[in-house]
């Protein structure tokens, strides 16, 4: 599926406007259609490679950014949504296996929970770590308790 | 063996000198052990970050620590010197502690570079131990980012001086 065709299809199916760059589509989706859009990208648009998912702390809300790629056609799609700090998001790990560790990392550093994730626990930090260090509210000079 | 009558040291020396090529050296065991310890540090092959590159250069042919009897050992059970060369993350902390505990006594620790000493530029990071002395006791701190090989060699010589001039046979370590 070419970029132009993908743009039209998303407009028709989800009524969302895309920003198109060379080989890349950027979409801002509402939180409710996060899962259905991902399913569409995986099976109909055939984005077979999961690049990353990450979060941006905007203090009053979190911006969730995910990027998937189609390695045959060399196209990519970056889809973004906004959630409140205490909200959860549906997992992408059922569509792309590569999202399992990526979502664990987002949970580890931002504290965002993913619904139906198979193994949502800390991945980089020790299991007894308190707090989520990449949040803006995390104090800068706070050291890990055993080595304070 | 029980010595019944005291033999003067002079007569022992005379006995030895009757042997062909016989020589006698008198010293205290403390001094003798210290001489053996400082003459052949066996550091653990253990690199953590970019300081390890400088450490490898120090051990390679240009600076050649083998002339001080230092060779890298692959197991902590064969080592008596632990060079902390780089940033210590909080997940590496328990592993360093375990490696230290696996080393036989007597053992020494050299903290190399500002990251190992205080956390360096990563001090306020959520994932870094602000100084390896919070995990294990450190004998010599070598500052630098990273320290040049000459600085590391100077630190090793300082450690040799420390052992030679120490009052106790074995360091008292608080556990």
What is the band of B175 on the pLDDT scale with cuts at 50, 70, 90?
very low
Q: CA–CA separation, B130 vs B143, rounded Å?
A: 15
Give the pLDDT mean for B49-62: 93
The confidence score (pLDDT) of residue B156 equals 93
- The kind and range of the H/E element at A26 are strand A24-28
What string of H, E and C letters represents the secondary structure of chain B? CCCCCCCCHHHHHHHHHCCCCCCCCCCCHHHHHHHHHHHCCCEECCCCCCHHHHHHHHHCCCCCHHHHCCCCECCHHHCCEEEEECCCECCCHHHHHHHHHHCCCCCEEEEEHHHHHHCHHHCCCCCECCCHHHCCCCCEEECCCCCCHHHHHHHHHHHHHHHHHCCCCCCCCCC
Q: What is the pLDDT of residues B150-160, one digit of tens each?
A: 999 999 999 99
The confidence score (pLDDT) of residue A1 equals 76
The confidence score (pLDDT) of residue A38 equals 92
Q: Does B47 lie at the interface with A, CB-CB under 8 angstroms?
A: no
Give B26 or B121, the one with higher predicted confidence: B121
Interface of A with B (CB under 8 A): 124-126, 129, 133, 138, 140-144, 146-148
The confidence score (pLDDT) of residue B114 equals 94
What is the band of A140 on the pLDDT scale with cuts at 50, 70, 90?
confident
Length of chain B: 175
Q: What is the pLDDT of residues A85-136, one digit of tens each?
A: 889 999 999 999 999 999 999 999 999 999 999 999 999 999 888 889 999 9
Residue B42 has pLDDT above 60, yes or no: yes
Residue B172 has pLDDT above 70, yes or no: no
- Chain A residue numbers with beta carbons less than 8 Å from the beta carbon of B91 are 124-126
Is B167 in contact with B136 (CB distance < 8 Å)?
no
- Chain B residue numbers with beta carbons less than 8 Å from the beta carbon of A124 are 91, 127
Give B132 or A144, the one with higher predicted confidence: B132
CA distance A107 to chain B (A): 15
Q: Assign A19 to helix, strand or coil.
A: strand
What is the band of B28 on the pLDDT scale with cuts at 50, 70, 90?
confident
C-alpha neighbours within 13 Å on the C-beta side of residue B27: 10
Q: Where are the domains of chain A?
A: 3-115
Mean pLDDT check: name the lowest of B69-83, B119-133, B155-169.
B155-169
Query: How far, CA to CA in Å, does B73 sit from each of A100, B44, B85?
Result: 39, 5, 15
The mean of the pLDDT values for chain A is 90
Residue A26 has pLDDT above 80, yes or no: yes
| Mutation choice for B interface testing from A143, A145, A146, A148 by most B CBs within 10 A | A143
Listing DSSP states for A82-119 in one string gives: EE-TT--EE-STTT-TTHHHHHHHHHHHH---EET-TT
The confidence score (pLDDT) of residue B168 equals 60
The confidence score (pLDDT) of residue B174 equals 45
The end-to-end CA distance of chain A, in Å, is 54
Give the pLDDT mean for B63-75: 91
Instruction: Decide yes or no: CATH 3.30.460.80 for domain A3-115.
Output: yes
Is B9 in contact with B48 (CB distance < 8 Å)?
no
| Of A71, A70, A92, A76, residue with least CA distance to A26 | A76
Residue B103 has pLDDT above 60, yes or no: yes
The confidence score (pLDDT) of residue B170 equals 53
Q: Does B89 lie at the interface with A, CB-CB under 8 angstroms?
A: no
Give the pLDDT mean for B141-155: 93
What is the band of A46 on the pLDDT scale with cuts at 50, 70, 90?
confident
Q: Does B145 lie at the interface with A, CB-CB under 8 angstroms?
A: no
What is the band of B51 on the pLDDT scale with cuts at 50, 70, 90?
very high
What is the band of B29 on the pLDDT scale with cuts at 50, 70, 90?
confident
Q: Assign A42 to helix, strand or coil.
A: helix
- Chain B residue numbers with beta carbons less than 8 Å from the beta carbon of A144 are 90, 126-127, 129
Residue B11 has pLDDT above 70, yes or no: yes
The predicted model scores a pTM of 0.79
């Amino acid at each position: 599926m070419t970029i132009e065709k993908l743009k039209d299809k998303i407009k028709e199916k989800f009524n969302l406007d895309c920003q198109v760059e060379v080989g890349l589509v950027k979409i801002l989706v509402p939180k409710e259609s996060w899962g259905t859009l991902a399913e569409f990208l995986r099976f109909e648009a055939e984005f077979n490679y999961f690049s990353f998912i990450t979060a941006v702390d905007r203090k009053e809300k979190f911006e969730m950014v995910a990027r998937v790629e189609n390695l045959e056609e060399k196209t990519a799609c970056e889809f973004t949504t906004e959630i409140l700090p205490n909200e959860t998001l549906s997992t992408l790990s059922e569509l792309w296996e590569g999202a399992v560790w990526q979502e664990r990392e987002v949970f580890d550093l931002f504290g965002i929970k993913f619904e139906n994730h198979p193994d949502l626990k800390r991945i980089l930090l020790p299991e007894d770590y308190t707090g989520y260090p990449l949040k803006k509210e995390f104090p800068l000079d706070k050291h890990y308790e055993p080595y304070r | 063996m029980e010595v019944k009558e005291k033999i003067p040291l002079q007569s022992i020396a005379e006995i030895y000198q009757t042997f062909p090529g016989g020589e006698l050296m008198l010293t205290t065991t403390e001094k003798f052990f210290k001489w053996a310890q400082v003459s052949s540090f066996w550091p653990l092959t253990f690199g953590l970050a970019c300081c390890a590159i400088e450490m490898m250069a120090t051990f390679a042919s240009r600076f050649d620590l083998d002339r001080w009897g230092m060779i890298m050992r692959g197991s902590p059970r064969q080592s008596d010197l632990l060079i902390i060369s780089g940033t210590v993350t909080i997940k590496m902390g328990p592993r360093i502690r375990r490696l230290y505990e696996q080393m036989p006594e007597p053992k020494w620790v050299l903290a190399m570079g500002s990251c190992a000493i205080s956390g360096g530029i990563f001090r306020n990071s959520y994932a870094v131990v602000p100084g390896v002395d919070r995990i294990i006791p450190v004998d010599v701190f070598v500052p630098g980012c990273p320290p040049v090989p000459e600085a590391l060699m100077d630190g090793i010589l300082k450690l040799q001086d420390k052992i030679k001039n120490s009052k106790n046979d074995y360091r008292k370590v608080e556990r």
